[in-house]
């Protein structure tokens, strides 16, 4: 039985399960070699064997309780007819962002993920190689976070254009979010059929919106996304970046676990949502001396609820992270309680 899946369901476990957001990544020398071999990030994502290998690498090195399929939240936009360019530096770009409500309205929800068959193949391949007690997580971007990229075409720290759109054209933007919610729910169901045993929805940029706007615009789209997974027996995790003020808004959504960042106290998140919680060590902590990493990890574990808790970072691990920091973090979780 998987410790991870049990904790997602709120069952009693011997110790908190643990995995690391972006655990297949550049902080691992073997990942850097694989990426070099693949030639590019895009080539690595779209080759099912290489994507499966990237997914499995951290599991060979560390005793983690879950694997997360190696992919990117923007890839499925291609199945919706939107071109995405993955440059090696500076993150992904959309050469033709959708800036007008007319353009948003033309975005069609896809029901076919054939063009992403490499994701399905990688999921199946990873599942075959994982021991039964290690769970496999599928994922997608949340409607708001995807809309941010769709509207602006590239990363931003404040998402000014997307926020303007939320006040200037809330109805049209709401329909775009619904389309994205419909499509991403379908995409996750497809991932579950291919082998994913849990799903995580990344709303990395949730926190730039105030709660009333998030409730009015984003929550209905998340509802549409998450309810498609109802009855599949697959735990649903929602990552809320910068989202302490949004916990009340997600309380009634059909999901099992809220994943919070390093600024949102775990106990507060559990109480405010009534859900399981995941997180939330600051990825910056892993650069401290191992004793300090262990001290701060223990502090985090003490602050977590006794059930329905999954240990993780509060954000994706940084590329420069020393492996010793990761080892100290995992050691502290595994020796608990």
Active-site residue set: 22, 26, 35, 72, 149
Closest CA to 46 of 140, 95, 117: 117
What's phi and psi for 311, nearest 5 deg?
-75, 140
- Residue 269 to residues 39, 80, 142, 301: CA-CA distances in angstroms? 41, 34, 19, 14
- Return the residue of 287, 294, 305, 331 that touches its own copies, per CB under 8 A: 287
Q: Tell me the per-residue interface mask from 238 to 277 with its own copies, x by CB under 8 A, - otherwise.
A: ----x-xx----------------xxxx------------
Q: Tell me the per-residue interface mask from 189 to 208 with its own copies, x by CB under 8 A, - otherwise.
A: ------------------xx
What's phi and psi for 137, nearest 5 deg?
-105, 130
307 binds its own copies (CB under 8 A): no
- Return the residue of 142, 209, 301, 317 that touches its own copies, per CB under 8 A: 209
Residue pair 294/332 in contact (Cβ under 8 Å)? The answer is yes
- Return the residue of 30, 227, 282, 327 that touches its own copies, per CB under 8 A: 282
* Closest distance to its own copies from the beta carbon of 100 (Å): 15
Closest CA to 184 of 134, 136, 231, 238: 238
Per the omega criterion (within 30 degrees of 0), is the bond before 280 cis? Answer: yes
- Give whichever of 42 and 262 is closer to its own copies, judged by the CB atom: 262
* Closest distance to its own copies from the beta carbon of 177 (Å): 16
Q: What is the largest CA-CA distance in the chain?
A: 55
* Closest distance to its own copies from the beta carbon of 95 (Å): 22
Q: Which two tokens stand for residue 98?
A: 């959708």
For its own copies, the binding residues (CB under 8 A) are 157, 160, 163-164, 166-168, 207-211, 242, 244-245, 262-265, 282, 284-285, 287-289, 292, 296, 318
């Amino acid at each position: 039985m998987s410790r991870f899946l049990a904790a997602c369901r709120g069952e009693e476990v011997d110790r908190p399960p643990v995995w690391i957001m972006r655990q297949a990544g550049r902080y691992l020398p073997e990942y850097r070699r694989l990426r070099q071999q693949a030639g590019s990030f895009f080539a690595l994502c779209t080759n099912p064997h290489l994507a499966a290998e990237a997914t499995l690498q951290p599991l060979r090195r560390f005793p983690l309780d879950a694997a997360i399929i190696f992919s990117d939240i923007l890839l499925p936009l291609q199945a919706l007819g939107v071109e995405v360019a993955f440059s090696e530096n500076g993150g992904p770009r959309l050469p033709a962002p959708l800036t007008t409500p007319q353009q948003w309205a033309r975005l069609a929800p896809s029901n076919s993920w054939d063009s992403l068959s490499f994701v399905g193949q990688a999921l199946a391949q990873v599942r075959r190689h994982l021991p039964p007690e290690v769970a496999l997580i599928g994922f997608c971007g949340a409607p708001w976070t995807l809309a941010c990229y769709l509207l602006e075409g590239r990363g931003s720290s404040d998402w000014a254009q997307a926020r303007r759109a939320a006040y200037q054209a809330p109805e049209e933007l709401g329909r775009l979010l619904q389309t994205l919610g419909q499509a991403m729910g379908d995409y996750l169901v497809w991932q579950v059929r291919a082998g994913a045993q849990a799903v995580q929805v990344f709303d990395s940029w949730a926190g730039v919106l105030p709660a009333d706007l998030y409730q009015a615009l984003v929550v209905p789209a998340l509802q549409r996304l998450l309810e498609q997974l109802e009855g599949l027996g697959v735990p649903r995790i929602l990552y809320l970046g910068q989202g302490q003020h949004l916990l009340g808004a997600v309380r009634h959504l059909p999901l099992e676990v809220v994943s919070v960042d390093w600024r949102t106290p775990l106990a507060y998140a559990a109480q405010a949502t009534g859900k399981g919680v995941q997180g939330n060590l600051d990825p910056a902590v892993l650069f401290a001396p191992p004793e300090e990493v262990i001290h701060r990890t223990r502090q985090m574990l003490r602050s977590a609820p006794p059930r329905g808790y999954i240990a993780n970072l509060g954000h994706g691990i940084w590329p420069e992270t020393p492996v010793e920091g990761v080892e100290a973090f995992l050691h502290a979780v595994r020796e608990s309680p």
